[in-house]
Chain A
Amino acid sequence: MDGIFLQQLINGLTLGSVYGLIAIGYTMVYGIIGMINFAHGDVYMVSAYLAAIGLALMSFFGLHSFPVMILGTLIFSVVVTSLYGWAIERIAYKPLRNSTRLAPLISAIGMSLILQNYVQLAQGARQQGVPTLLDGALRLHIGEGFVIITYTKIFIIVASIVGMGLLTYVIQKTTLGRMCRATQQDRKMAQILGINTDRVISYVFIIGAAMAALAGVLITMNYGTFDFYAGFIIGIKAFTAAVLGGIGSLPGAMLGGIILGVSEAQFAGLVNSDYKDVFSFSLLVLILIFRPQGLLGKPHVAKV
């Protein structure tokens, strides 16, 4: 029984850390310009394709050792996906900066449809796949049961922690991070103090896309299969995670992702996998009833 519980915990942690990485993109954008970037799930989907293209490029150039391949793919995918994030902000959101709040929301939905259909046309509608990169697994005996952790899962958890740690460092300790936080607190004031807020907003989109790209590479490694529609479900889950943890809060997104992933896995394991989504959304409703701002979110105070 313990072995099963631990196995489900690990299943949940891998799933949850990936949710968390994508949730960061939702939460940062919301924090800074107060809009929900519905195209973010599709940015992740694009990065999954880029990861496959990156892997193909690596093996084309004869680079077959795992660290080189994964590093090269990661850099390629993060850079190109960041470009996508930047371009999306430029094309779809920046011209609407000073219009009503709903305008960029609709524009985001449009962007999501454009990305899906563009990838479908460019790459075909079929399922795509990549071969297994990292074979093998760790087998731990616990009491009567055992736990199997594939190296890929360990890699996902480690890479997510490193990615989140790096991001926390950037936001808390660097000038760029300070500018982001200042813009988040009060965009107008930050502008008066000489911060180029438009550029900061661009950076935020780039950071969000880079995190989604990290998730894209990790998921592609783990499941090996994706299609142009892959961003939809995972985007909704990540958005839920962001709301759960408190939208606008960075640690909240990570925490929300982990909670969502682990509760899904445990519920599926202990009760029934048919209703695991019902359970996670009920959890969301419950938390929002008692803490409308989410777990780590700051309550919204009307500015006078």
Chain B
Amino acid sequence: MSQIYRKGILALAIGSALSFSSLVQADVVIGVAGPFTGANAAYGEQFWKGATLAAEDINAAGGINGEKIKLVQGDDACEPKQAVAVANRLVDSEKVKAVIGHFCSSNTLPASDIYDEAGIISITPGSTNPQITERGLTGVFRMCGRDDQQGVVAANYIVDTLKAKKVAVIHDKDAYGQGLADAMKAQLAKRGVKEVLYEGLTRGEKDFNSLVTKIRSSGAEVVYFGGLHPEAGPLVRQMREQGVNAKFVSGDGIVSADMVTTAGGPQYTKGVLMTFGADPLKSPAGKGVVDKLRASGYEPEGYTLYSYASLQAVAAAFNGAGSTEGEAASEWLKSHTVPTVLGEKSWDGKGDLKVSDYVMYEWDDKGKYNQLP
């Protein structure tokens, strides 16, 4: 008898604790998901720095419908399996209302399904694989362009400016890398250039010497790489070591100072070309934010401002729709223009940006990248 009584008390206590916690939780919880560990942790750090500063600024300006933003981190380590686990955790136990992320396209693809099913919106600051917004999901947005836009810019540059006839196309067999390489290859074919080599390498390996020898014997003038900096660095270094002086062109997967580290110094990355959105650091709307980040000792490279802008868009949608409900917010975003640190942004029905602004960058001999005129 007393045991049943005790159990009843316990159940009551648990029940009231649960209801209390839901009462106390007045913040709007937003997940920031990306690789915070692993070889691509540099990008997770960019996401987090941008989002935390955005949350501070938005909270200081009144928050979302009067409530404060609270950020939680979701680490996918750029592993699709882990991304699914993290997405489920964010949805089920953290009860997030929106997600900024993920970074690697192969992670964003499965994770965004889970967010969409749960009726929350997700904005990826950096995943460029076209498939992400081509699956008819209502709540999936991106703050960046698509690989079929990026690949076209790269291919046109290779044909028009570099005037290359022999192009080797290398990818990392991942959704982002291969997708980008294929998009570039397709545009090359349209311009009448057939690649001399099309091969994949394995993510996580460091020795690409045999591939480099093959590139050398193909006589390529340009090597296009679809992939991320942990592989791009050693690849470009081993090319130069074997005397392959072909131009190295890649996409927005190498936008990190770690590119220089993995290549072994700026003498190897010098002259490397890449496509990326028009320099966000030069956007007049972002000046205040850039100064603030620099004052805190953090150089806002790569995706930092994209992440900041993503949170701005989420906040604007929630405020505009007057609720944190995914469908309403998604509808609002697709019909309004949002002023962000990257400038005015608006989205089409699929969740893609209406205007993408890919341009060419070149790495210099000091290990910095500059927009080409």
Whether, in the assembled complex, B265 has its beta carbon less than 8 Å from a beta carbon of chain A, the answer is yes
User: Judging by beta carbons under 8 Å apart, are A131 and B234 in contact?
Assistant: no
> Of residues 90 to 140 in A, which have CB atoms within 8 Å of B's CB atoms?
120, 124-132, 137, 139
Stretch at the interface among A7-15, A160-168, A170-178, A181-189: A7-15
User: Judging by beta carbons under 8 Å apart, are A273 and B41 in contact?
Assistant: no
CB distance from A24 to the nearest CB of B (A): 19
Stretch at the interface among B54-62, B151-159, B237-245, B278-286: B237-245
Stretch at the interface among B64-72, B196-204, B316-324, B339-347: B196-204
User: Judging by beta carbons under 8 Å apart, are B264 and A269 in contact?
Assistant: no
Across-interface contacts of A89 in B (CB, < 8 A): none
User: Judging by beta carbons under 8 Å apart, are B210 and A265 in contact?
Assistant: yes
Across-interface contacts of A125 in B (CB, < 8 A): 36-38, 41
Across-interface contacts of A230 in B (CB, < 8 A): 206
User: Judging by beta carbons under 8 Å apart, are B42 and A127 in contact?
Assistant: yes
CB distance from B212 to the nearest CB of A (A): 8
Whether, in the assembled complex, A232 has its beta carbon less than 8 Å from a beta carbon of chain B, the answer is yes
User: Judging by beta carbons under 8 Å apart, are B234 and A225 in contact?
Assistant: yes
Whether, in the assembled complex, A276 has its beta carbon less than 8 Å from a beta carbon of chain B, the answer is yes
CB distance from A124 to the nearest CB of B (A): 8
A128 to B264, CA, bound (A): 10
Whether, in the assembled complex, B229 has its beta carbon less than 8 Å from a beta carbon of chain A, the answer is yes
A139 to B243, CA, bound (A): 9
Whether, in the assembled complex, A302 has its beta carbon less than 8 Å from a beta carbon of chain B, the answer is no
User: Judging by beta carbons under 8 Å apart, are A273 and B214 in contact?
Assistant: yes
User: Judging by beta carbons under 8 Å apart, are B258 and A126 in contact?
Assistant: yes
Q: Interface residue count for A (Cβ, 8 Å)?
A: 43
Contact A276/B261 with A125-B36, A148-B243 known, Cβ cut-off 8 Å: no
User: Judging by beta carbons under 8 Å apart, are A131 and B265 in contact?
Assistant: yes
Interface bits B221-245 vs A (CB < 8 Å: 1, else 0): 0000000011001100100011100
CB closest chain-B residue, reference A125: B41
Across-interface contacts of B267 in A (CB, < 8 A): 132
CB distance from A292 to the nearest CB of B (A): 28
Whether, in the assembled complex, A169 has its beta carbon less than 8 Å from a beta carbon of chain B, the answer is no
CB closest chain-B residue, reference A131: B265
A265 to B264, CA, bound (A): 23
Whether, in the assembled complex, A155 has its beta carbon less than 8 Å from a beta carbon of chain B, the answer is no
> Of residues 39 to 55 in B, which have CB atoms within 8 Å of A's CB atoms?
39, 41-42, 45
Interface size range on B against A? 35 or more
Across-interface contacts of B234 in A (CB, < 8 A): 223-225
Contact A227/B209 with A126-B258, A129-B261 known, Cβ cut-off 8 Å: no
User: Judging by beta carbons under 8 Å apart, are B242 and A14 in contact?
Assistant: no
> Of residues 9 to 28 in A, which have CB atoms within 8 Å of B's CB atoms?
11-12, 14-15
Across-interface contacts of A227 in B (CB, < 8 A): 38-39, 230
User: Judging by beta carbons under 8 Å apart, are B36 and A7 in contact?
Assistant: no
Whether, in the assembled complex, A4 has its beta carbon less than 8 Å from a beta carbon of chain B, the answer is yes
CB closest chain-A residue, reference B268: A132
Across-interface contacts of A277 in B (CB, < 8 A): 202
Contact A126/B42 with A223-B207, A225-B262 known, Cβ cut-off 8 Å: yes
User: Judging by beta carbons under 8 Å apart, are A269 and B214 in contact?
Assistant: yes
Across-interface contacts of B233 in A (CB, < 8 A): 127, 129, 225
User: Judging by beta carbons under 8 Å apart, are A150 and B241 in contact?
Assistant: yes
Whether, in the assembled complex, A84 has its beta carbon less than 8 Å from a beta carbon of chain B, the answer is no
A-B contact pairs, 21 of them (CB 8 A): A4-B213, A4-B217, A8-B210, A11-B207, A125-B36, A125-B37, A129-B262, A129-B263, A129-B264, A131-B265, A132-B267, A224-B234, A224-B237, A225-B261, A225-B264, A227-B39, A229-B39, A265-B209, A273-B199, A276-B210, A277-B202
Binding site for B on A (CB under 8 A): 4, 7-8, 11-12, 14-15, 120, 124-132, 137, 139, 145-146, 148, 150, 219, 223-227, 229-230, 232-233, 264-266, 268-269, 272-274, 276-277
Q: Apart from A233-B205, A268-B211, what are 7 other A-B pairs with CB-CB below 8 Å? A: A4-B217, A129-B263, A146-B243, A223-B264, A225-B234, A229-B204, A269-B210
Binding site for A on B (CB under 8 A): 36-39, 41-42, 45, 173, 199-202, 204-211, 213-214, 216-217, 229-230, 233-234, 237, 241-243, 258, 261-265, 267
